[in-house]
Amino acid sequence: MSTLSPASPADFRRVLGRFASGITVITSVDEAGPAGFTCQSFSSLSLDPPLVLFCVADASTSWARIAPTGRFAVNVLAADQRDVCRNLAVPGSPDKFRRVVWHKSNLGTAHLGGALVTIDCRISGVYPGGDHRIVIGEVQELHDHREGDPLLFFGGQFCSASAHFGVSAAQGGKQ
């Protein structure tokens, strides 16, 4: 065991990479069309009222388009959506959605085809957090699209629950 300094960005990233996280895509639609970015820093926050949160880099050009809409959708990616994740992870690309299936929701957000679930939210607060913003959303609608394993990120690579742990989400953890 070794002790590392949190001041080293490389050490910080490597150590925190040992925490598995799901991959979501935060989206909305403005006058120019769909905007979105991949996001691992998503979490539920409150049941009453129903709130969620995510963190986004201050420099995000996609967030600069989403924030003024006052709304966003959280699309939880499935294990078979690695390409969607890669397409939407390219910072500043005007063609992010060119090869991504999506539709505009009744609430004005972009729902991604193939996502496990989509959560439509109204932005209820944005707070500073280092070189990021912490965004809180009030949940407006829940969309449960399909069953399947989520796309996970662990140790600097994609994985799925069944591939990494030998258990399928559809099995409910039973082997």
Backbone angles phi, psi at 18, to 5 degrees: -85, 0
Q: Please state the rounded mean pLDDT for residues 15-21.
A: 79
76 band by pLDDT with thresholds 50, 70 and 90? very high
Asked whether the whole model's pTM tops 0.75, one would answer: yes
pLDDT for the residue 90 = 86
Share of the chain above pLDDT 90, in %: 71
Q: Would you say 55 and 133 are in contact if contact means Cβ atoms under 8 Å apart?
A: yes
Residue whose pair of structure tokens reads 């996609």 in the numeric block: 62
- List, in sequence order, the alpha helices (H) in the chain: 9-16, 61-66, 82-88, 161-165
**Angstrom distances, CA of residue 83 to CA of 2, 52, 78, 97, 137:** 36, 25, 11, 11, 27
pLDDT for the residue 123 = 98
pLDDT at 166 over 80: no
Q: What is the mean pLDDT of the chain?
A: 89
pLDDT for the residue 19 = 76
Q: Which residue has the higher pLDDT, 5 or 88?
A: 88
pLDDT at 168 over 70: no
Query: Tens digits of per-residue pLDDT, 37-55?
Result: 999 999 999 999 999 999 9
The full set of domain ranges for the chain reads 22-155
163 band by pLDDT with thresholds 50, 70 and 90? low
Q: Which residue has the higher pLDDT, 168 or 71?
A: 71
Most confident range, picked from 67-76, 85-94, 157-166: 67-76
pLDDT for the residue 174 = 42
Q: Which residue has the higher pLDDT, 35 or 166?
A: 35
CATH topology of domain 22-155: Pnp Oxidase; Chain A (2.30.110)
